[in-house]
Amino acid sequence: MAVTIPLGKMKISDKLRALEEIWDDLQRTPGAVPPPAWHADVLRARMSRIRARESSFHDWTDAKRSIRERTR
């Protein structure tokens, strides 16, 4: 099904609202959204860096704190 959206006539706020509605709809059935093929390549590369001790995992709370401190 082709969908035509008048993007050139829409305000930024309307475009963002449309994106949010689409994202909310996609999140209702996450299993129906296949991951892109390149995700597997990225995950393999990350696991390789973990095994080589070139990277490490961090607690999400600590990671967010660190990001916030760097952006101040």
Q: Residue 58 above 90 pLDDT?
A: no
Give the amino acid at 39. Answer: H
What stretch of H or E contains 49? helix 38-51
Are the C-beta atoms of residues 26 and 33 closer than 8 Å to each other? Answer: yes
Query: How far is residue 57's CA from residue 68's CA, in Å, rounded to a whole number?
Result: 18
Q: Could you report the per-residue pLDDT of 24-57, keeping only the tens digit for each?
A: 999 999 899 899 999 999 999 999 999 999 998 8
Query: Cβ neighbours of residue 60 under 8 Å, at least 6 residues apart?
Result: none
**Is the separation of the CB atoms in 15 and 7 below 8 Å?**
yes
pLDDT at 9 over 90: yes
How much is the pLDDT for 10? 96
